[in-house]
Amino acid sequence: MSGLSDAQHAEPEQPEASRPSMPPQYGIQAPTQGQGVLPWAWATERLAVARGYWLATTRPDGRPHVAVIWGVWLHDRFSFATSAASRKGRNLAANPHCVVCPEQTTEAVLVEGVAAAVTDRAAIGRFAEAYTAKYGEEVDTGLFQVYRVRPVVAFATLSDAEAFPATATRWRFADASDASGAGPDERAQPAASERGDRAAGE
């Protein structure tokens, strides 16, 4: 997994919004029906303000792994820190594809993307500043590796029987050639202290 600098990480164009592909039993309406598709800004607002997130990765033997982490939505990317020797760090080294979800499920956002280690010192510094501003404590970027997730495809659903089929939204990014486009229902080392655990997302 190659290291990335901000220069290699220009902000993407606005993603294309559409309805997710789901079986007819879900009653998903056409993009122009109901309340229409949700704007990407609706998703980024929820990605930015969430305190906790779920990170799903895949073990080398194919078994899934999910961890609760802290992180920041910065420059249209999700950034977090963890030990490269942690289970999720080892998983990402073998397979950088992952899913990031804010903790809130009544207005759910699911981001499928590709993670890469960040090595640019200025970018790491900006992540650390944003992390401290958000959580009120520092993250030791000398001890933990910083990762950045590039969105490939994202989904949003509302936990309401009427709003769900009228607002369900899928966003495809310009470089989403490896996304399947299916709906979210169709996807088939411990730190030494509690503070370190939260920073590492273990």
Return d(Cα 117, Cα 158) in angstroms, integer: 32
pTM given for the model: 0.80
Return d(Cα 82, Cα 111) in angstroms, integer: 19
At residue 11, the pLDDT reads 53
At residue 178, the pLDDT reads 46
Return d(Cα 159, Cα 191) in angstroms, integer: 35
Cα four-point dihedral sign 126, 130, 136, 137: negative
Residue 68 lies in a domain: yes
Q: Where are the beta strands (DSSP E) in the chain?
A: 16-18, 53-58, 64-69, 72-74, 77-82, 97-102, 107-117, 145-158, 169-172
Return d(Cα 164, Cα 176) in angstroms, integer: 24
Residue 116 lies in a domain: yes
- Residue 89: give the domain boundaries: 37-173
62: left (phi over 0), alpha (psi -120 to 50) or beta: left
Residue 178 lies in a domain: no
136: left (phi over 0), alpha (psi -120 to 50) or beta: left
Residue 72 lies in a domain: yes
Cβ-based burial of 57 (10 A; exposed 0-12, middle 13-18, buried ≥19): buried
Residue 28 lies in a domain: no
Residue 197 lies in a domain: no
How many domains in the chain? 1
Please list the pLDDT of the chain residue by residue as tens digits (202 residues): 445 445 444 555 689 999 999 999 888 898 888 788 999 999 999 999 999 999 999 999 999 999 999 999 999 999 999 999 999 999 999 999 999 999 999 999 999 999 999 999 999 999 999 999 999 999 999 999 999 999 999 999 999 888 999 899 999 998 655 444 444 443 332 333 333 334 444 4
Residue 23 lies in a domain: no
Residues 148-191 pLDDT 10s: 999 999 999 999 888 999 899 999 998 655 444 444 443 332 33
Which contacts qualify for 32-41: CB closer than 8 Å, 24 or more apart? 33/166, 34/165, 34/166, 34/167, 35/163, 35/166, 35/167, 36/167, 37/167, 37/169, 38/156, 38/167, 38/169, 40/14, 40/15, 40/171
Q: What is the CATH number of the domain that holds 71?
A: 2.30.110.10
Return d(Cα 66, Cα 119) in angstroms, integer: 25
At residue 50, the pLDDT reads 98
Residue 146 lies in a domain: yes
At residue 141, the pLDDT reads 96
